[in-house]
Amino acid sequence: MPNKKKTKKEAAAQKKSNALLLPLYLFTIIFVFAPLVYMIILSFLQKAEIWGVKNVFTLENYRRILEPLYLGTFTESLKLAFLSTAAIILIGYPYGYFMARMSERWKKRMMMLLMIPFWTSALIRLNGWIIVFRSNGVLDKLLMGLHLTDKPLKLLYSYEAVLVGMIYALLPFMILSVYSSAEKMDWSLVEAARDLGAGRVKAFVSVTLKMTLPGLLSGVILTFIPSMGLFFIADLLGGNKVVLVGNVIQEQLTKGRNLPFAAALSVVLMVLTSLIIAFYRRVAHTKELEGMFV
Amino acid sequence: MKIKSKFPWIYIGIITVLTYVPIVLTVVYSFNESKITSVWEGFSLKWYEQLFQDSDLAEALRNSLILAFCSCLMAVLIGTTGALGMRSRKTKTSDVIAYLSLLPLMIPEIILGMVYMAAFSFLQLPFGMLTLVIAHTTFCVPYVFTTVRARLAGMDKSVEEAARDLGASDFRVFWDITLPAIMPAILSGVLLSFAMSFDDVVISIFVTGPTVNTLPIKIYTRMKTGVTPEINALATVLLAVTTGIILLSSLVGRRNKNK
Amino acid sequence: MSDTLLELKNLTKSFGENGVLKGINLKVEQGEFVTLLGSSGCGKTTTLRIIAGLEEPDSGQVILNQKDITALEPNLRDVNTVFQNYALFPYMNVEQNIGYGLKIRKVPKAEIQKRVKEMLEIVQLQGFEKRKPDELSGGQRQRVAIARAIINSPRVLLLDEPLGALDLKLRRQMQLELKKLQKKLGITFIYITHDQEEAINMSDRIAVMRNGVFEQIGTPNEIYYHPKTSYVADFVGNANVIHLDDKTYAVRSENVLMDGEAECIYYAVVEEKSFAGGQLRIVFRLQDGQLVTASRYGIDAQIRVGETRNIGWHKNDAVEVLDNAE
Q: Do B167 and C104 touch (CB under 8 A)?
A: yes
Q: Give contacts of C84 with chain B, Cβ < 8 Å.
A: 158
Shared-domain flag, residues C174 and C52 = yes
Q: Do B165 and C81 touch (CB under 8 A)?
A: yes
pLDDT computed for residue C288 by the predictor: 86
Shared-domain flag, residues C179 and C264 = no
Check residues A154 and C231 and name the one with the higher pLDDT: C231
Mind telling me how many Å the CA of C32 is from chain B's nearest CA?
21
CATH number of A67-284: 1.10.3720.10
Mind telling me how many Å the CA of A131 is from chain B's nearest CA?
7
Shared-domain flag, residues C45 and C12 = yes
Q: Is residue C230 part of a domain?
A: no
pLDDT computed for residue C106 by the predictor: 92
Shared-domain flag, residues C211 and C263 = no
pLDDT computed for residue A8 by the predictor: 61
Check residues C235 and C2 and name the one with the higher pLDDT: C235
Give the list of residues 6+ apart from residue A230 with CB closer than 8 angstroms, or none. Answer: A166, A169, A244, A246, B109, B110, B202
pLDDT in tens, B177-214: 999 999 989 998 898 899 889 989 889 999 998 889 99
- The chains in contact with chain C, meaning 3 or more Cβ pairs closer than 8 Å, are A, B
| Interatomic CA distance for residues A231 and B131, integer angstroms | 21
pLDDT computed for residue A2 by the predictor: 41
Instruction: Choose the weakest-confidence range: A8-12, B157-161, C48-52.
Output: A8-12
pLDDT higher than 50, residue C36: yes
Instruction: Choose the weakest-confidence range: A238-247, B33-42, B58-67, C20-29.
Output: B33-42
What does the pLDDT average to over C81-105? 93
pLDDT in tens, C124-163: 899 999 999 999 998 899 999 999 999 999 999 999 999 8
pLDDT higher than 90, residue C47: yes
Check residues C306 and C144 and name the one with the higher pLDDT: C144
Q: Are C296 and C261 in contact (CB under 8 A)?
A: no
Beta-carbon pairs below 8 A across chains A and B: 252
pTM recorded for the entire structure: 0.83
CATH code for the domain in which residue C28 is found: 3.40.50.300
Chain A contact for B111 (CB, 8 A cutoff): yes
Q: What are the pLDDT tens digits along chain A (294 aa)?
A: 344 445 566 777 788 888 999 999 999 999 999 999 999 999 999 888 776 788 888 888 899 888 888 888 888 888 899 999 999 999 999 999 889 888 888 888 888 888 888 778 888 888 888 888 877 777 777 777 777 777 777 777 888 889 999 999 899 889 988 998 888 877 777 778 777 777 777 777 778 888 888 888 888 888 888 887 788 888 888 887 788 888 888 888 888 888 899 999 999 988 888 887 788 777 766 655 554 443
B81, B116, B243 ranked by CB distance to A20: nearest: B81
CATH code for the domain in which residue C287 is found: 2.40.50.100
Q: Is residue C232 part of a domain?
A: no
- The pLDDT-based confidence of C326 (bands split at 50, 70, 90) is low
Nearest residue of A to residue B194 by CA position?
A: A119
Give the range of the structural domain holding residue C288, as residue numbers without chain letter: 240-320
Quote the number of domains for chain C.
Answer: 2
Chain A contact for B12 (CB, 8 A cutoff): yes
User: The domain B56-234 is classified under which CATH number: 3.40.50.1220, 1.10.3720.10, 1.20.1260.10, 3.30.420.40?
Assistant: 1.10.3720.10
Shared-domain flag, residues C41 and C145 = yes
Q: What is the ipTM of this complex?
A: 0.86
3-state helix, strand, coil in chain C (%, to 5): 30, 35, 35
Q: Are C159 and C191 in contact (CB under 8 A)?
A: yes
Shared-domain flag, residues C247 and C215 = no
Mind telling me how many Å the CA of C163 is from chain A's nearest CA?
32
pLDDT in tens, B143-153: 999 999 989 98
* HEC assignment per residue over chain A: CHHHHHHHHHHHHHHHHHHHHHHHHHHHHHHHHHHHHHHHHHCCEEECCCCCEEEEECCHHHHHHCCHHHHHHHHHHHHHHHHHHHHHHHHHHHHHHHHHCCCHHHHHHHHHHHHHHHHCCHHHHHHHHHHHHCCCCHHHHHHHHCCCCCCCCCCCCCHHHHHHHHHHHHHHHHHHHHHHHHHCCCHHHHHHHHHCCCCHHHHHHHHHHHHHHHHHHHHHHHHHHHHHHCHHHHHHHHCCCCCCHHHHHHHHHHCCCCHHHHHHHHHHHHHHHHHHHHHHHHHHCCCCCCCCCC
pLDDT computed for residue B1 by the predictor: 45
B159, B167, B169 ranked by CB distance to C89: nearest: B159
Give me the residue spans of the domains in chain A: 67-284
A40: amino acid identity, one letter: I
Chain B contact for C130 (CB, 8 A cutoff): no
pLDDT computed for residue C107 by the predictor: 93
Q: Give contacts of C52 with chain B, Cβ < 8 Å.
A: 161, 165
pLDDT computed for residue C192 by the predictor: 95
DSSP state of C229: B
Q: Is residue C281 part of a domain?
A: yes
pLDDT higher than 60, residue B129: yes
Shared-domain flag, residues C61 and C113 = yes
Instruction: Choose the weakest-confidence range: A141-150, B115-124, B235-244, C314-323.
Output: A141-150
Check residues B73 and A180 and name the one with the higher pLDDT: B73
Mind telling me how many Å the CA of B167 is from chain C's nearest CA?
4
What percent of chain C has pLDDT above 70?
97
The residue out of C162, C191, C225 marking a domain boundary is C225
Shared-domain flag, residues C249 and C202 = no
pLDDT higher than 90, residue C1: no
What rounded mean pLDDT belongs to chain C? Answer: 89
| Interatomic CA distance for residues C324 and C326, integer angstroms | 6
What rounded mean pLDDT belongs to chain B? Answer: 87
